[in-house]
Amino acid sequence: MNISFVPVETPEQIARLAALAREIWTEHFTSIIGAAQVEYMLEKFQSAPALQAQLAQQGYRYYFLAAQGREIGYTGIRPDGEKLFLSKLYLRREERKKGYASQTFEFLEKLCRENGWRAIWLTVNRHNDDTVAVYRARGFSVVREQAADIGGGFVMDDYIMEKPVANETEGEKKA
């Protein structure tokens, strides 16, 4: 089943995105980083005010992933020089392992080709084994490790992963 990518632009959409983030993060990350850090990160990075600031002032773009008229997840991106930073890619638990992440990567790679970005990079918690495996399967490799103090006594212990994306001309030369 194909999904659509719906830009998040209005205050009402931002509020729905914050609620969806809370649902997904609480379910997925509590066992990895603990409830206190999940709550802190939701407020700091995924609350409606934080999302609004990212959209209005920091160059982020958010998209709902929608299937059968239902928001099943979301992605957040930000251009970063010649690369695209994949900040967020989350699916509701019941929507995982249905090919939606693959469709999202295809969408992001198309954006890269259209905009001349040469790679996609991201951060992922080093203990989020299933997600690291998904990224590796999609051609991402670890380029470094990072421990970032995010305040509140919390640290994000991440891999920085990256995948090159050939532009149309390079892709045609290889074919």
Q: What is the pLDDT along the chain (175 residues), one digit of tens a residue?
A: 799 999 999 999 999 999 999 999 999 889 888 899 999 999 999 999 999 999 999 999 999 999 998 999 999 999 999 999 999 999 999 999 899 999 999 999 999 999 999 999 999 989 888 889 999 999 999 999 999 888 888 888 899 999 999 876 544 444 4
pTM listed for this prediction: 0.89
Strand-strand pairing, 141-151 and 154-164: antiparallel
C-alpha to C-alpha distance for 109 and 103, rounded to whole angstroms: 10
Q: Is the distance from CB of 77 to CB of 7 less than 8 angstroms?
A: no
**DSSP H stretches of helix in 116-160:** 129-137
Strands (E), the chain: 4-7, 61-67, 70-80, 83-91, 119-125, 141-151, 154-164
Q: Is the distance from CB of 172 to CB of 151 less than 8 angstroms?
A: no
Q: Is the distance from CB of 66 to CB of 72 less than 8 angstroms?
A: yes
Q: Which of 109, 48, 47 is nearest to 77 (CA)?
A: 109
C-alpha to C-alpha distance for 86 and 72, rounded to whole angstroms: 18
